[in-house]
Amino acid sequence: MALLQDKVVLVNGGSQGVGAGIVRAAVREGAAVVLTGRRAGVGEKLAADTGALFVRADLADPAQARDSVVRTLEAHGRIDCLVNAAGLTSRGSLLDTTPDMFDQHVAINLRAPFFSMQAAVADMKARKAPGTIVNIISNCAHGGPPYLAAYSAAKAGLAGLTRNAAHAHRWDRIRINGLNIGWTDTEGEDAVQRAFHDAGDDWREKAAAAQPMGKLGQVDEIADFVVLLLSDRSGVVTGSVIDWDQIVFGGMD
């Protein structure tokens, strides 16, 4: 049987990158999927390609983050699984990050997951039904490079939130886990490399050659792992923030 057969899955930030990969994998595994994003054209195309439902949302607005769950309930009557995949990766160090940039990172990378989780867990508890949540975090939660100060702070907050909520709702049979993903090959990363790091057309090849496994993280591989965590096949695991990367944190040469 498919891993998510007859499950209702909401993927926030699901119109591109890792989120879009998760949408495709969840549909493949039998789920009814709702996805959100800011760009209507991109989201509607993915929905048409997969049979998912697209909801346009700016998750920086807490009301729209909560409303993503409401729209899922309106469409399917319940929510079984939530994935928070939206992310902002604009660059800024401790010394040059502005208050506005800091607030943007907190809004997308921490506040949006908080309030979408709030709404999803409320529905699960009201129905006395089990559920699963996966937060896409980042290895920057361990510290991160100097040019990702606000991003690292927000993602560290999301890692803490993941554990806190998992502990709070373990007796409700709501399992909440996170993935600290590393450097991943996405269209968004391509744009970031070109905009912030003067990367050329061969940046992927150069980056891959410098990695222990000879490649960057791949969207389809991450998506398959997320589907496993959403499914009953991941058993009782909850409160885990898993380093999905080829960097071994704490290891030294």
| Active centre residues (catalytic) | 151
In whole angstroms, what is the distance from residue 163 CA to residue 54 CA?
Answer: 29
Q: Are 184 and 219 in contact (CB under 8 A)?
A: yes
Q: Which residues pair with 203 in a beta bridge?
A: none
In whole angstroms, what is the distance from residue 2 CA to residue 184 CA?
Answer: 26
CA nearest neighbour of 82 among 34, 16, 17, 137: 34
What's the half-sphere exposure (Cβ side, CA atoms, 13 Å) at 160? 10
- Given CA atoms 160, 163, 166, 167 in this order, what sign does their dihedral have? negative
What are the residues whose beta carbons fall under 8 Å from the beta carbon of 222, sequence distance 6 or more?
Answer: 18, 21, 22, 136, 179, 181, 184, 244
Neighbours of 46 (CB within 10 A): 22
Tokens coding 213? 């496994």
Q: Are 139 and 202 in contact (CB under 8 A)?
A: no
Q: Determine which helix (DSSP H) or strand (DSSP E) holds 11, and give its type and residue range.
A: strand 8-12
Tokens coding 121? 């867990």
Q: Are 154 and 104 in contact (CB under 8 A)?
A: no
Q: Are 7 and 17 in contact (CB under 8 A)?
A: no
